Structure 1
């Protein structure tokens, strides 16, 4: 076929395609025209779309607010952080961090004695057994006052007296219990509890030197006055976090947790909605213990908020702590590679 004939054939194909396209467009316009016959049915109402969702919400169902992935906050507990939990009930939060999130250095404490925990919370037995079978077992301590943390030798230094302090200390839903029916007295009691907790986080204890010879009272006093800073171990590391989680609404908003933390010497870092689903297996329990029949409400059904406070300290000390933490992570990674 010659070149002229080839060009002519191409032009004819293009014209055929253009005719077919025009015919299809005319058919679409005819189909889109409204019918000339009157309709007795009322026009359909437009459905309002949920601004946070791409689907319409039926009129007989309540609108739901969908949390976008970009708005969801990360869990503020690092896998390699030294984490201390105070005021635990049945230790289900301790279990969630250790088992579900794989936090390797979690220590759980309760204000109640072991006997009281066993009596108050029927769920504790299974949790204690599971935490005890982990390698290494998760340390649990009883009879620990959250306002006097530095007075417990086993908690000093973060992982014993040889440690360098805690990375994170968390108090989940602190409450003094039903001490009074008077709201103002309850508010003051819980504020005192929070202030004591914040001050305990900022406590600094002496690191004992086992090789130091015994001294007289005068020499001991002079040694303490002249002791270098390296012998002073902070309970919470510089740059460490103190975390408090509270229910939203009154009376909890009356506690003014942010102001209490500021006055104690902590920096308000952030606060965000507490998402119960982020901590599988965690169940809120009351300070007074489990109520027969389950009680009138569950904590998981209520909105809550997590407050994160930071200890402001020497920047060089904070950098040193971060280097040690990075080194520990690398060593753990190397050991895992060798095992594989």
Structure 2
């Protein structure tokens, strides 16, 4: 596809091979498909079966899935992000972008235990995703950054999996027309939730020399400011 014929919506292009995981009502997939005018470059997956999705989201989800398939999207159900690199329909495919919006392990435990479960979900997702994206590709996690979500420490988890933060950008729902986030689990699974302070984190296998140089310069500047502060105290 030539550069002039590419279509973009924020970070995503019709020339990217995109894997969307943990889709709830598939409205994010539908948003990308609408922006591109096609979804032949998109694989959209959910952990739930189609029957479960119908129970959660009603007839609207059936219409959305039909429209995605008509636009050429590959829709897959029963895909666990923690084991997806072994999935027979995914394990031989590489993607330019792998996207997980608002990962969440559920509400069934105390906050402290849930935090560890959320971290484990993110860790195992990243461990699997890094087997499925191209050398210069990106893994995107859109995530709340206020407390208690900040305690998930997803950047540190990624580094433990040999992945590095290329960029953190503010997430705005308005950038994705038609996207409606859903809780996805529990008795209120069909309800939306307030996004609040939220970012999209872009993880890569290696940082470019330019990015590494900028990071080192910022670290040196911070160290100098810290040293100056200490000397004045």
Q: Would the TM-score normalized by the shorter structure come out above 0.5?
A: yes
Q: Give the TM-score normalised by structure 2.
A: 0.79
Q: Are 1:178 and 2:107 matched, yes or no?
A: yes
Q: Which residue does the alignment assign to 1:149?
A: 84
Q: Does the CA contact (< 8 Å) of 1:175 and 1:287 recur in 2?
A: no
Separation of aligned partners in 1, 2:186 and 2:111: 21
Q: Are 1:119 and 2:13 matched, yes or no?
A: no
Q: Which has the larger radius of gyration?
A: 1
| Residues 302 and 187 (structure 1), Cα distance of their counterparts in 2 relative to 1, 3 Å cut | same
Query: Which structure has the highest strand share of the two?
Result: 2
Alignment equivalent of 1:276, drawn from 156, 173, 181: 173
Q: Which residue does the alignment assign to 2:138?
A: 241
Separation of aligned partners in 1, 2:45 and 2:19: 8
Q: Secondary structure at the match of 2:52?
A: helix
Separation of aligned partners in 2, 1:290 and 1:243: 28
Q: Secondary structure at the match of 1:155?
A: coil
Separation of aligned partners in 1, 2:25 and 2:186: 9
Q: Which residue does the alignment assign to 1:264?
A: 161
> Which blocks of at least 5 consecutive residues in structure 2 are unaligned?
1-8, 208-233
Separation of aligned partners in 2, 1:157 and 1:76: 25
| Residues 114 and 277 (structure 1), Cα distance of their counterparts in 2 relative to 1, 3 Å cut | same
Alpha-carbon shift at residue 291 of structure 1 (Å): 3.1
Over 6 Å off, 4+ runs: none
Separation of aligned partners in 1, 2:129 and 2:20: 12
Alpha-carbon shift at residue 113 of structure 1 (Å): 1.3
Q: Which residue does the alignment assign to 1:94?
A: 29
Separation of aligned partners in 2, 1:101 and 1:139: 15
Q: Give the TM-score normalised by structure 1.
A: 0.55
| Residues 195 and 301 (structure 1), Cα distance of their counterparts in 2 relative to 1, 3 Å cut | closer
Alignment equivalent of 2:14, drawn from 63, 79, 99: 79
